Amino acid sequence: MKTFNRGGVHPQENKLTNDSTIEVFPLPKQAVVFVSQHLGAPSTLIVQKGDKVKTGQLIAKAEQFICANTHSPYTGTITKIDVATDFTGYKKPAIYIDVEEDEWLEGIDSSTEIVREIKLDSNQIIEKIKEMGIVGLGGAAFPTHIKYMIPQGKKADYLIINAVECEPYLTSDYRIMNERAEECLIGVEILKKALNVEKALVGVESNKPDAIEHLTNTAKRFEGIEIIPLKTKYPQGAEKQLIYALTKREVPSGKLPIEVGCVVNNIGTAQAVYYAVQKNMPLIQNILTLTGKNVKQKKNLLVRVGTPIQSVIDYCGGLPEGTGKVISGGPMMGKAISELSAPTVKTTSAILLMSNKESSRKEVTNCLRCGKCVSVCPMGLEPIQIAQFAENRLWEEAEKTLAMDCIECGCCLFTCPAGRPLLDLVRISKNHIGEIRRQRAQK
């Protein structure tokens, strides 16, 4: 079975919500929507306090290159335009909405009816994706339309769809593959058309045999979409690793996938593209897995953007006794949440509640030089070397040891028997190296 070419680990899968069908989460009474919810330049707010908005109405516009539109996920009145604290504790511009009865903006098809025929051409599709504020739902929130504007001199051979979901606990992609396979694949077809390629490769990990079977059967009704089972190994879903697993092409250091003729998007993004292009629906809701070993009712929920995280937790039985960490995303790459009152954003695909015991780090001992961090690193780096340079504040040495190539998958810290904070130290190195590089550029 195909997989990437070096390193990797296999953490406990804990896919506790595999069998929970997607449930629609009720609309909150008050919602907070961040003006910018993507990677890149901030969007420009185009509504004011007191304005009435409808569901799907544009509220912030992309006026710069790497930027995305933001739409109102609710019908209601804007009561305040202020900053709000996001789940990591940062304050960001946001609008506060008093939610009224849901009324979708005219022109949006909010029915569940499947629209198969693709009427738009390549440029129109890209324009539509931009208009509907689609961002990468794999976690990075990179504006999707930019990926399809291929730079001069480059050519795409493959569209690669990431349906790996290699993170433990997460099941949102798995559920849409099972419940909404056709929507996903129409989305893939649209992206294929936007990119002008013959072939789309959809990578799915072998721990989801029913999703693979269901997608493969559905794909028979499409042309040029190949469903490829991959070995269950983390981080199979990391962009460069996935490209290698599917095409045996190695993205050069510091370059983008297009360098080797690939464009990568998540299966959830493909579904969002389907809604955007076929049904004129902006990205205002997403599937959120609320899970954790002690959670009373673990669920896969369809949640509007801007829903308070606390309300989702309450809906699923409340915060279990002894919860030590709440994580947005999976346990390997997710971010620890410091503000439960913070609203969800476009990319909030999971809220994971972990007990103190499960999430606390093991005792730290001296490095044994066992080399496990080196052997599990999917980027072929030497985490222990970078960490030692970081401990001695030798940032330039850390740079020479390729710290900047680290994808922060966490395999090193996961594996280290001595419990060394390897990834933390690499992250610190990356920060310092970034600063050094900016200074160099100024000179």
Partner 1 sequence: MSLLTISGSPHVQSNQTTKKIMWTVVIALLPALLVSIYFFGLDALLVTLTSVVFCVGFEWLIQKYILKVQPTIKDGSAVITGILLAFNLPSNVPLWIVAIGALVAIGVAKMSYGGLGKNPFNPALVGRVFLFISFPSKVAMSEWPLPKPLFGSSLTDTVTGPTPLLALKDGQAVDLWNMFIGFTGGSLGEISAITLIIGGLIMLFRKVISWHTPVSFIGTAGIFALILWLVNPSEFIHPLYQLLAGGLLLGAIFMATDMVTSPITYKGQLIFGFGCGVLTIIFRSFGPMPEGVSFAILIMNAVTPLIDKAFKPKAFGY
CB-wise, 214 or 325, nearer to partner 1?
Answer: 325
Residues 176 to 215 in contact with partner 1, rule: CB under 8 A: none
Q: How far is the CB of 279 from partner 1 (least distance, A)?
A: 35
Please give the residues from 350 up to 389 whose contact with partner 1 meets the rule CB under 8 A: 352, 354, 356, 358-363, 365-372, 374-375, 377-382, 384
- Kindly tell me which residue out of 135, 423, 429, 432 binds partner 1, with binding defined by CB under 8 A: 423
Q: Report the residue from 45, 92, 427, 433 that binds partner 1 according to the rule CB under 8 A.
A: 427
Nearer to partner 1, 70 or 291 (CB): 291
Binding to partner 1 (CB under 8 A) within 219-278 occurs at 240, 244, 250-255
Q: Which residue's CB is nearer to partner 1, number 82 or number 391?
A: 391
Nearer to partner 1 (CB atom), residue 42 or residue 421: 421
Among 3, 8, 9, 15, binds partner 1 (CB under 8 A): 9
**Are 164 and 230 spatial neighbours (Cβ–Cβ below 8 Å)?**
yes
Closest distance to partner 1 from the beta carbon of 136 (Å) = 18
366 — phi, psi (to 5°)? -60, 150
- Give the CA angle between residues 302, 304, 305 to the nearest 5°: 130
Smallest gap, in angstroms, from Cβ of residue 2 to partner 1? 16
Write the DSSP string, 337-349. Answer: -S-TTSBP-TT--
- CA 265 and chain centroid, separation: 10
H or E element at residue 227: strand 225-230
CA dist 205 and 207 (Å) reads 5
Report the residue number, 225 or 327, with the smaller CB distance to partner 1: 327
Among residues 207, 323, 348, 429, which is the contact residue for partner 1, using CB under 8 A? 323
In the bound state with partner 1, the residue whose beta carbon lies nearer, of 391 and 424, is 424
The string over 358-382, giving b where at least 16 C-beta atoms fall within 10 Å of a residue's C-beta and e elsewhere, is bbeeeeeeebeeeebbbebbbbebb
**CA distances to 27, 47, 55 from 305, in Å:** 10, 17, 11
Task: Provide the β-strand partners of residue 33.
Answer: 95
Q: Residue 158 CB, nearest distance to partner 1 (Å)?
A: 18
Query: With 0-12 CB in 10 A as exposed, 13-18 as middle and 19+ as buried, what is 442?
Result: exposed
Angle at Cα 225 formed by Cα 221 and Cα 226, nearest 5°? 115
Query: In whole angstroms, how close is the CB of 329 to partner 1 at the nearest point?
Result: 8
Site for partner 1, residues 78 to 137, rule: CB under 8 A: 89
Q: Which is nearer to partner 1, 50 or 324 (CB)?
A: 324
